[in-house]
Amino acid sequence: MDAATSPRPPAAAADWTIPQDWARYTPDEHAMWDRLFARQQAMLPGRVAPAFLDGLDVLRMSRPGIPDFAELSERLMRATGWQVVAVPGLVPDDVFFDHLANRRFVAGRFIRTPDQIDYLQEPDVFHDVFGHVPLLANPVFADYMQAYGRGGQMALARGMLPQFSRLYWYTVEFGLIRDGDALRLYGAGIVSSYGESLFALDDPSPHRIAFDLQRVMRTRYRIDDYQQNYFVIDSFEDLLARTAGTDFAPVYDALESLPDIEIDTILPEDRVITRGTQAFARRRAAG
Ligand SMILES: [Fe+2]
């Protein structure tokens, strides 16, 4: 989600959706999906939230090839009333929020090339569909995503989009969740990345801090490398209650007078789960 960098392409509808054109994928493109899928599927059990694996199963996503959005949407509709629609790339914020508020998840339809297997700038169909869609089959997470879309309209009106976007970043994209004494992955940016799926749980570098709505909305993030901070929720129910169940007006009033928090800062009031060394980020910064 972000501001669009170009005007709506002529082929797109008013809501920016385009046909997926599933029949146009080449064998090489399907093979790229299968390669990425196999690598994540072998590594994620025991690391990812069980609800994610349930979603793969319910949606029959382990079948070979790039999923056909129409068929995927049928299964998803039966599970939670969500659909997956194709868009040409990043869409304007209000369009993005409107889709989520109406239980439509917008996904890119292109797939990365072999030289982009570990890093690409714009989300492709593997990130968007493998990363995001399984959890949309979970009723509580599905409600959270819709609530996020509804909240977006208010954030826009209040001029609080940067802060509100951090909520998405640190939950939907890069969230961790407790599972008994262990931590598990659920953010799409992590689960669709081989490297970050290992780093986010195992590396001593990043901080892992208990989720707090206001804290998260004040915290900057990086888009160019593995995160320096992960925020940990107790459960999807808890996340839903702390966001959809919250009146954001007083939160925004408070945020207006509070400074942003730098990426690697730990505050005295934080509930720290692991205090990171930040060694990875420092090594990268040193080149
Ligand atoms: Fe994403």
Q: What would the two tokens of residue 13 be?
A: 């509808």
Query: Is 173 labelled a binding residue?
Result: yes
Q: What is the model's pLDDT at position 6?
A: 58
Q: What is the model's pLDDT at position 2?
A: 42
C-alpha distances (whole Å) from 9 to each of 3, 13, 55, 95, 150 are 15, 9, 32, 14, 26
Per-residue pLDDT in tens (0 to 9) along the chain, 287 residues: 444 445 777 777 889 999 999 999 999 999 999 999 999 999 999 999 999 999 999 999 999 999 999 999 999 999 999 999 999 988 999 999 999 999 999 999 999 999 998 878 889 999 999 999 999 999 999 999 999 999 998 999 999 999 999 999 999 999 999 999 999 999 999 999 999 999 999 999 999 999 999 999 999 999 989 999 999 999 999 999 998 888 899 999 999 999 999 999 999 999 999 999 999 999 999 98
Q: Residue 170's Cα: distance from chain center in Å?
A: 8
Residues with CB under 5 A from ligand 1 (ion): 188
Q: Note the pTM of the prediction, 2 decimals.
A: 0.95
Q: Which of 182, 159, 158, 155 is nearest to 168 (CA)?
A: 155
Domains and their CATH numbers in the chain: 22-286 (1.10.800.10)
Distance of CA 173 from the midpoint of ligand 1 (Å): 6
Distance of CA 226 from the midpoint of ligand 1 (Å): 14
Distance of CA 175 from the midpoint of ligand 1 (Å): 12
Q: Say how many Å lie between the first and final Cα of the chain, rounded.
A: 29
Neighbouring-strand partners of residue 232? 176, 210
Query: Is 207 labelled a binding residue?
Result: no
Q: What is the largest CA-CA distance in the chain?
A: 55
Distance of CA 268 from the midpoint of ligand 1 (Å): 31
- Beta strands 207-210 and 182-185, pairing class: unpaired
Query: Is 132 labelled a binding residue?
Result: yes
88, 16 contact by CB (below 8 A): yes
